[in-house]
Structure 1
Amino acid sequence: MAISTHSLIALMLFVNSIYGQPARDDTFEPGFNPQESDELLALNFAFLDTNRNARFDTFLPGYRFLYRSESIGLDNAWDLWIRSDSTVTIVVRGTTANPKSILADFLCAMSPAQGTLILAPGDTLAYRLAAHEKAAVHTGFLIGFGYLAYDMRPKVDSLYAAGYRNFLVTGHSQGGALSYYTSAWLHYLEKDNIYRGIRVKTYASASPKLSNMYFAYDFDNVTRAEWAFSLTNSADVVPEMPFTTQQVDVDMNEPNPILRLMDRFDSLPFFQRLVMKRAFNRMRKGAAKSSLAYQKYLGGYTAKLIAEMVPGLELPHTINSTYFVRPGVPISLVVDDEYMNHFAPLAKEGPYYHHNPITYRYLLRKYYDGLPALAEHINIR
């Protein structure tokens, strides 16, 4: 009789529970840990092995491979590992060469950070990624997250039932953006007493911008600047994407002092008042026009293409904003001449070589002591 993946994981965790519940270990702590970050960057390389039967038994000491999802949704996938201190480790795959995955990057509309996703007839995901009513997230990434969360939920249920309480979440590139959503989702499931008592720590590397400021405020407040980190190579162009437009009327907190400038202009002499009001209105309307064009071409048109590729998906509601930011404590890895010389052999491949996890691991060693030397097969020289 065939055994489902969910049943197999439940059986493995049940057997583990017979021999003792997962131990609480003080190694799972708040704060940036360079070794932990480096290990999670290394785990992202497991996605290069597309063999469905790979067990990764000796892939990284201290981590036991448990599960890999199918390619789902917008060609999304995730791995599940258990660290030796009983920390659940979720690794989310980044962008692939699949057109659906690429289109997810370019579906740059924004959708509410809480609501319901209809992924297929009968497959519905209610989600809450933030409490703030104005919080919004990148629509393409939200759709990808929806498929991942739908697949993750029964596995996390089994882990929680078996006593696991500590969760590491990571991803590189698009996977980094999705790791923020996964962590926010788990945080709010904890707040709703579904996964009571869990702790979630996030390492996102090379992540593009993924939300508006209200989500970022909410996420950073929940994680208290201790449990979520954003690693960026200063030469990597992906963290600068998507480009962003801030509208005065829509994307600023209330009370908005900029809008009140118009009242202050009334105290100026006539011609100065005329010039300043005209200039201000042109900038205000220009930003709004730019944002609407952005939403039309990288929102509506891209959404139609995705809808044709994913039968049954109902595209989520979008809001009028293209002001993208990225939350998390920044870990800025600044390149220098030594770095450029070291990776010169890759320069012929184009500027995206800076986006490779290898460059991030190299820069971690430049700025943080105590990390082991990179293995020869992933060292450029």
Structure 2
Amino acid sequence: MGRGLLYPWDNDCFVVSWTGTNDCIVLTRLLFLFCLLSTTAYTQVLQPHFDKEEYVELLKINKKTHLPLEKWATDSLVTMPEKYAFSYRSPELAFDNRWDLWFHKTQPIAVLSVRGSIATEASWLANFYAAMIPAKGEIEWGKTTKFPYALAESPKAAVHVGWLLAMAHLTETIESKIDSSYQAGVKDFILTGHSQGGGITYLLTAYLRTLQKNNRLPADIQFKTYCSAGPKPGNLFFAYEYEKMTDGGWAFNVVNTADWVPDVPFSLQTINDFTEVNPFSQADQVVKKQKFPKNLVLKHLYNKLSKPSLKAQKNYQKYLGEKVSVAVKKQLPDIQLPEYYESNHYVRTGRTIVLVPDQAYWDRYPNTPSSTEVWTHHLIVPYLFLASRL
């Protein structure tokens, strides 16, 4: 897929990859590049802040990631990125997921762009499979392949199981391309995805940063994340650790306030979702110590407040976990997962860049009740419109 690309970094053009049918890898004048890098101190290119121009380029890349390569030339809605050139497209895996690799034309920066939902049953299974599993554990493919993962250290941290499965299947090619890019002198990587791609990119960011923390990726790699229209990837304890590991301006989720996708998955908080020390965990014991008939009244009120949310959480896990997993098993028959984490307390995660529609936006993209228009505010074109007006 694709072709070899020339990158004129430091006035030295060389082919960093070839993705044609022969799967050749051609490196021209690579020795010169390595000499250059070995004698010149590496300067970090990416900067820790939201960059409007950077994001606009990534939106264009995300649009192309959703399209077949042969349709790029006829895409009249979104132009090609100006600063980046395409290099590699992964095979489709898991829930019809894939990702693209792009390189900056004049600087040693690589972009990993994860595709979002497409119009297939498998793709939407990843979204509907919305039970939570622990953010640290192990997934098995059959009897021989195991995928240990760590996205957070807290045993109370949990994430969306469908997007974790999608991310896990993509990591083999992602880690391979990060390694080959690093060997060619690239130390700055942007991770991005729109919609479902944003949800997967949250988890990919945490996974790669944890690998780096555990010395399984070079310490001098810099990751910067732009989720776009990203949904909620996990619970509060995952969000805490994600925000800590990306602190200082290294991760963003850009959201159009008219878009419904950042509202999902459904979020439900129960008394079990709080930190260990809280006034709610012992409430039933406090009620029991009250004198009759006050204890009966308080117990009735306590049950009225706590039981509906606990029952609802069990139903969410039953239908969005156990029931959907039957269809998932048909897609991934050998998959073995950790036990579900009993929570559906999905929260907004990371630093949010808010795109607020103005009158010019509403004139172009009005609200309509038609079911065919539910994607009006979620597509990349309206996001480009709002981003250009920041």
Q: Say yes or no: does 1:63 pair with 2:81.
A: no
Secondary structure of 1:230's partner? Answer: strand
C-alpha displacement at 1:125, in angstroms? 2.2
Match of 2:205 among 144, 163, 183: 183
Change (3 A) 1:271 1:17: farther
Q: Per the alignment, in what secondary structure is the counterpart of residue 67 of structure 1?
A: strand
| Deviation, structure 1 residue 26 | 4.8
Q: Any idea what SS the aligned residue of 1:355 has?
A: coil
Deviates more, 1:143-152 or 1:313-322: 313-322
1:50 to 68, 72, 77: 68
Pair 1:221 & 2:244 matched: yes
- Structure 1 residues 345 and 261 mapped into 2: Cα distance closer, same or farther (>3 Å)? closer
* TM-score for both structures, normalised by structure 1: 0.86
The reply to whether residue 79 of structure 1 matches residue 108 of structure 2 is: no
Residues 25 and 85, structure 1, Cα contact 8 Å, conserved in 2: no
- TM-superposed CA distance for 1:298, in Å, is 0.9
Question: Could you list the runs of 5+ residues in structure 1 that have no partner in the other structure?
Answer: 369-381
1:37-75 CA-to-partner distances (Å, cap 9, x unmatched) read 11111111112431379799x932221211001111110
Aligned to 1:200: 223
Q: What is aligned with 2:150? A: 128
**Alpha-carbon deviations, 1:129-188, whole Å to 9, x = none?**
112222111001111011111221222221223332211000000000111111111111
Q: Which amino acid aligns with 1:60?
A: P
Match of 1:377 in 2: none
**Are residues 353 and 91 of structure 1, via their aligned partners in 2, closer, same or farther at CA, if it must alter by over 3 Å?**
same
**Could you tell me which of 18, 24, 38 is aligned with 2:56?**
38
Task: Compute the displacement of 1:307 (Å).
Answer: 0.5
Q: 1: distance between equivalents of 2:164 and 2:84?
A: 28
Which of 141, 155, 158 is the equivalent residue of 2:163? 141
For residues 244 and 256 of structure 2, the distance between their equivalents in structure 1, rounded to whole angstroms, comes to 25
Residue number in structure 2 paired with 1:363: 386
Deviation at residue 261 of structure 1 after TM alignment: 4.4
Letter in 1 for 2:81: L
Q: Is the 1:118–1:125 Cα contact (8 Å) retained in structure 2?
A: yes
**Which structure shows the higher helix fraction?**
1
In structure 1, the partner of 2:119 is: 97
Q: TM-score, normalised by structure 2?
A: 0.84
Deviation at residue 277 of structure 1 after TM alignment: 3.1
Range moving further from structure 2, 345-354 or 201-210: 345-354
| In 2: Cα distance, 1:73 partner to 1:333 partner | 32
One-letter amino acid of the counterpart of residue 44, structure 1: N
Work out whether residues 190 and 197 of structure 1, in 8 Å CA contact, stay in contact via their aligned partners in 2. Answer: no
For the 8 Å contact 2:203–2:233, the answer to whether it is kept is no
Structure 1 residues 257-266 or 35-44, which shifts more? 257-266
Partner of 2:350: 328
- Residues 261 and 124 of structure 1, relative CA distance in 2, 3 Å threshold: closer
Q: Secondary structure at the match of 2:126?
A: helix
- Supply the distance in 2 between the matched residues of 1:354 and 1:291 (Cα, whole angstroms): 29
- After TM superposition, give the deviation of residue 6 of structure 1 in Å: 11
- Checking the alignment, whether the CA contact within 8 Å between 1:173 and 1:208 is kept in structure 2 is yes
Could you report, residue by residue, the CA deviation over 1:178-230 in whole angstroms, capped at 9, with x for unpaired residues? 11111111111111112222111111111111111111111101111511111
Shift of 1:258: 2.4
Sequence identity, in percent?
33
CA distance in 1, matches of 2:298, 2:348: 33
- Alpha-carbon distance change, 113 to 10 in structure 1, aligned in 2, over 3 angstroms: farther
Aligned residues: 362
Partner residue, 1:18: 31
Matched, 1:150 2:176: no
Aligned in 2, Cα 1:36/1:123: closer, same or farther, shift over 3 Å? same
Please report the RMSD computed on the Cα atoms of aligned residues, expressed in angstroms.
Answer: 2.9
The reply on whether 1:238 has 2:261 as its aligned counterpart is: yes
**Residue ranges of structure 2 left out of the alignment (5+ in a row):** 1-16
The answer to whether the 8 Å contact 1:205/1:230 transfers is yes
Equivalent-residue separation in structure 2 for 1:10 and 1:277 (angstroms) = 71
Structure 2 vs 1, CA of residues 161 and 361 (structure 1 numbering), >3 Å: closer, same or farther? Answer: same
Letter in 2 for 1:198: I
Q: Which residue of 1 aligns with 2:298?
A: 276
Question: Offset of 1:267 from its aligned partner?
Answer: 8.6
Q: Which amino acid aligns with 1:211?
A: G
* Pair 267,240 (structure 1): closer, same or farther in 2 beyond 3 Å: same
* Aligned amino acid, residue 51 of structure 2: N
Report the CA distance between 1:359 and its aligned residue.
1.3
Question: Cα distance 1:236–1:365, how it changes in 2: closer, same or farther (>3 A)?
Answer: same
